[in-house]
Amino acid sequence: MVAMSDRQQAMINDLRGKVVAVVGLGKSGLAAARLLDAVGAQVRLVDQKPESELVDLASPLQHLNTQIFGGNRFAEGIQPAECVVLSPGVPPSLEAINQARIKGVPVISEIELASWFLSIPLVAVTGTNGKSTTVSLLGRIFEESGRQAFVGGNLGTPLSEAALTMFRHEANHAGGPAPYDLAVVEVSSFQLETIDRFCPHVAVILNVTPDHLDRHASFADYIAAKGRIFENQTADDFAVLNVDDNQLLPLHESIQALSVGFSMKERLPNGVFLNDPLIMASMSGQTYPIMPIEEIQLLGAHNVANVLAAVAVGLLCECPISTIRRAVGTYRGREHALELVRKRQGVMFVNDSKGTNVDATIKALESFTQPVVIILGGKDKGSDFTQLREALQQHAKSIVLIGEASESIAKAIMGIGDIRQAQSLSQAVELASHLAVSGDVVLLSPACASFDMFRDYLDRGQQFRDLVNALPA
């Protein structure tokens, strides 16, 4: 049994009876509200949507003592708060939130709140691309090693759900082992913007390329937000970084934790690297093999880098090499990330709906030696689509554009090949299937967010699957 720490008890005492505004009623907001209610806070559910819509969104919390503030009562919901908890999709620059900050009210992210109630080691992974794959692979590694790991965060199940489970176990003095002995979470730049004491025992940055520049003022600000993952670490913690990514070099100077690298290009004195045909590790003064590269099941060189990062974390968390090798060798990836949907008439249809930025789409294109018919487009996040030109010239035989960003993409890549427009994903799949011949790949990798036409990237990916599977044999 894990005992509740003095720090956790102090947090409970501090929040009990306090008015806390949870802003944004997505999954993380609802999870934060449940946790806050359990520790005795007075919870206000605040969202910019009309209150008529919020009643349905908040229905899972109807048995709790919460108040709903939406639409023109948004600022009213925040005004008396003694603490504000932001969901990732809520910009911290909103005027009502700024006013709270000016008054000295703490404005924190859901992952910050959750971390206050976790007495287990925390592994946190961020980066522009590969977070979900790496976190899911780590979940498989820990499962193979017999660990009881919570796997979630921005990936799916909010960290507050793990915190609530652990809190109830500890508060009830339940017998037997704790529900989790470790938490592995994907964290985004949005979540890291508003941390305070969030301190992972192992923190990972996979890579950084321009993304979310519709929210962050500059690429430098985006990198700085990612770098906050190391902010509260000490010499007893580990910072795992991609040493091949020059954009991460400025972060190295401020790291207080023990730095561990991973590299596709160079032999490292402390880290995990490729030495063809093997994945090798150098740790604690010893260099040793982990596994042959050919055992990796994932498509694309970028996923080899994700594997290196996961191997490094597994070793730092004392997982046996044999279980790491077995987990990596049997892991075939996440849904909607270079997922093979179907082979039809010699054509591979691949779902990479999670490719929501330019760099992810470039990496997806580079995963194939076959000619590619690519479906691009969606909601623009302030991306520079001209960066797609070289990869499209090298790998794409045809380009089918959809969504709000289609005109911007068309201008950015003008003159590089066969460019078509489609009014819907259904039309795009039909067109791509006619353009492709045996030996080609039809790839959905939009380089854009999904919210112009779909609920989210999951909805987009599922609709692509359904449309592909509905094509006649």
Could you tell me if 361 and 453 lie in one domain?
yes
The answer on pLDDT for 212 being more than 70 is no
Q: What is the percent of the chain where pLDDT is above 70? A: 96
pLDDT grade, residue 346 (50/70/90)? very high
pLDDT at 372: 98
Give long-range contacts, CB 8 A cutoff, 24+ apart: 412-415. Answer: 412/384, 412/385, 412/386, 412/388, 413/385, 413/386, 413/388, 413/389
Say yes or no to pLDDT of 213 above 70: no
Distance CA 234, CA 115 (A): 16
**CB neighbour class for 72 (10 Å; exposed up to 12, middle 13-18, buried from 19):** exposed
Nearest C-alpha neighbor of 313 from the set 269, 276, 271: 271
d(CA 285, CA 262): 16
Is a pLDDT exceeding 80 seen at residue 7?
A: no
- Rounded Cα distance between 160 and 33, Å, is 9
- CB-based contact 189:126 (threshold 8 Å): yes
Q: Return all residues near 252 (Cβ < 8 A) that are at least 6 apart.
A: 241, 259
Q: 208 and 247 share a domain?
A: yes
Q: Is position 141 within any domain? A: yes
Q: Are residues 304 and 351 in the same domain?
A: no
CATH number for the domain spanning 53: value is 3.40.50.720
From 56-70, 128-142, 409-423, the region with the lowest mean pLDDT: 56-70
The 10s digit of each residue's pLDDT in 237-266 is: 999 999 999 999 989 889 999 999 999 999
Tens digit of pLDDT for each residue in 151-193? 999 888 999 999 999 998 887 765 678 899 999 999 999 999 9
Note whether 84 and 140 are same-domain residues. no
Known binding site: residues? 127-133
d(CA 307, CA 126): 14
- Predicted local distance difference test score (pLDDT) of residue 89: 85
Helical packing angle, 321-330 and 131-144, nearest 10°: 130
CA atoms within 13 A on the CB side of 137: 32
pTM of the entire predicted model = 0.80
Question: Which residue ranges are tagged as binding site for ATP?
Answer: 127-133
Cα gap 94→268, rounded to integer Å: 44
State which of 89, 105, 121 marks the end of a domain: 105
User: Tell me, what's the pLDDT at 174?
Assistant: 57
- Structure-token pair, residue 106: 């703490």
Domain end residue (candidates: 105, 130, 160): 105
Spatial contact of 376 and 360, defined as CB atoms under 8 Å apart: no
Q: Closest Cα to residue 340, out of 430, 428, 441?
A: 441
- Among 105, 130, 155, residue at a domain's last position: 105
Contact 229, 203 (CB under 8 A): yes
Cα distance between residue 390 and residue 396, in whole Å: 10
Domain hosting 363: range is 339-469
pLDDT of residue 33: 96
Residue 11 covered by a domain:
no
Q: How many H-runs (helices) and E-runs (strands) does the chain carry?
A: 18, 20
